[in-house]
């Protein structure tokens, strides 16, 4: 029997659909998961429009996050889409703090993706610099994030991350 069959059997035999919110919160905390949807989206449990017209649906929030991720993946070519993305965030009335967290998260993921091959090319530098300017962080903040992630990568790989000549 394959791993997924065993997992499926386990989950179907132990699933408790009536688990309390407290139990789900304890499980999320124990596993290090966070409920990262903005307050508005937490209230929505479907893709249906929110009861409050000023609050985005969960579907809208997830679509916005997908656009954000795609824009970061395609930088610098996708730079021209940034203003529209931020306009959309304001139209959805997304919380500024939540947006800032998502931008920091995507910036971190971008850097991790760039250093994953242990070589920093000129194109990689351009992607990181473009992202830094778009999200509005200082050079020193970006440098600190890059150094922390490079140190993490070097510890993981047991070797150094080098710049391409």
How does pLDDT run across 24-43, given as a tens digit for each residue?
666 566 666 555 544 444 44
Confidence of residue 2 (pLDDT cuts 50, 70, 90): low
Mean pLDDT of the chain, nearest integer = 76
Predicted pLDDT of residue 96? 92
- SS3 for 63-130 is HHHHHHHHHHHCCCCCHHHHHHHHHHHHHCCCCHHHHHHHHHHHHHHHHHHHHCCCEECHHHHHHHHH
Closest CA to 134 of 162, 154, 104, 89: 104
pLDDT top residue among 121 and 69: 69
Predicted pLDDT of residue 135? 94
Give mean pLDDT, residues 155-161. 72
Answer whether residue 51 shows pLDDT above 90: no
Confidence of residue 152 (pLDDT cuts 50, 70, 90): confident
């Amino acid at each position: 029997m394959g791993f997924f069959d065993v997992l499926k059997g386990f989950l179907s035999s132990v699933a408790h659909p009536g688990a309390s919110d407290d139990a789900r919160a304890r499980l999320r905390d124990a596993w290090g998961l966070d409920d990262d949807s903005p307050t508005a989206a937490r209230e929505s449990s479907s893709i249906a429009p929110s009861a409050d017209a000023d609050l985005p649906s969960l579907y809208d929030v997830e679509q916005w996050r997908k656009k954000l991720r795609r824009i970061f993946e395609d930088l610098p070519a996708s730079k021209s889409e940034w203003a529209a993305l931020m306009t959309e965030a304001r139209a959805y009335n997304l919380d500024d703090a939540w947006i800032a967290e998502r931008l920091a998260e995507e910036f971190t993921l971008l850097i991790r993706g760039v250093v994953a091959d242990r070589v920093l090319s000129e194109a990689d530098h351009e992607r990181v610099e473009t992202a830094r300017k778009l999200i509005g962080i200082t050079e020193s903040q970006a440098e600190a994030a890059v150094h922390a992630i490079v140190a993490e990568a070097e510890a993981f790989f047991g070797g150094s991350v080098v710049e391409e000549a």
